[in-house]
A and B are shown apart, each in its own frame.
Chain A
Amino acid sequence: MVLDTITIPTQLPCLAQGIAFVVACATAAGLPLTRVREVELATEELLVNICHYAYPGETGTIEIHYTQDDTHQLLLEFSDTGQPFNPLDLPEVDLPDDIEQRPVGGLGILLIRTLMDRVTYNRTGEKNIVQFMIRLPH
């Protein structure tokens, strides 16, 4: 059951609205503050990537749906109608300890993959759909 939805423009200054929406949903779902912060971070990383890769040089919208099901998890679904963009397809970033050998960037997807309990991507019709699944505390 979808409990709440927001639609935001894919402009960097507007992403804060989507992030605030997710923070409110995660808090309402009963996640502890540290976990809310992790969900917030993963959301920021995803929204910024959607802006860059699904809508390069143009503006569109992102819909965020907040759902809770009977499997005791919080579901956040991010959908857009931009170019096909599967964040899980991006190559894993190499992380050598020597700063000189490190690429600058590429860490956002790593943070998403690590911090969320499960991440899925589907291309349905003209839509990119990314889902974050976050287990709720018992």
Chain B
Amino acid sequence: MQCTSQQIANVVLIRVEGRIDHTTAPDFGQALTAHLDGCSGEEHKLLLDCSGVDYMSSAGLRVLSTAAKRCRAQQGEMVLAALQPMIQEVFKISRFDKVFKIFPTVKAALEALSPSAAVAYDGI
């Protein structure tokens, strides 16, 4: 599991890659926590690009749930983009697809989150 981040206007884009299971979930949690501090209001939003995540167990869902609760408490916003089919299935079973705003692409997520970030982004 690997996370890399990029600031795009008022959005922090976090690219998550690899497996998120009971062994890698703690690292995933640490990587997310580093970005949660400032996640509040319009100034600092989080977008998780999950296109590189090919496996997620409930350990990963637990990390996302904890992060989402914290974001909510801070009036922050965290959204997800580009879920692979297996992750979509796990989200559907656990009804995480009702909890999170999920977009088909990073570009679509940025357009919904922040017009300035969407303009500044040069990917898809």
Instruction: Name A's B-contacting residues (CB within 8 A).
Output: 12-13, 15-16, 34, 37-38, 40-41, 44-45, 48, 95, 97-100, 102, 104-105, 107-108, 110-111, 114-115
Contact = CB atoms under 8 A, between A and B. Distances in A.
Contacts of A108: 57-58
Contacts of A99: 65, 68-69, 72, 99
Interface in B22-72: 22-23, 55, 57-59, 61-62, 65-66, 68-69, 72
Contacts of B21: 44
A105 B62 contact: yes
Contacts of A98: 99
B69 A100 contact: yes
B68 A111 contact: no
A13 B89 CA distance: 26
B66 to A, nearest CB: 6
A41 B99 contact: no
A27 to B, nearest CB: 15
A105 B61 CA distance: 8
Contact of B61 (A16, A107, A114): A107
Contacts of B69: 99-100, 102, 104
Interface of B: 21-23, 55, 57-59, 61-62, 65-66, 68-69, 72, 85-86, 89-90, 93-95, 98-99
B92 to A, nearest CB: 9
Nearest to B56: A41
A100 B62 CA distance: 13
A107 B95 CA distance: 10
9 contacts: A12-B22, A15-B22, A38-B89, A45-B58, A97-B99, A98-B99, A104-B69, A108-B58, A111-B90
Contact of A107 (B66, B72, B94, B98): B94
Contacts of A44: 21-22, 57
B94 A95 contact: yes
B93 A111 contact: yes
B31 to A, nearest CB: 18
B65 A41 contact: no
A132 B61 CA distance: 23
Given A12-B23, A13-B23, A104-B69, 6 more contacts: A16-B23, A34-B85, A40-B55, A99-B65, A99-B68, A111-B90
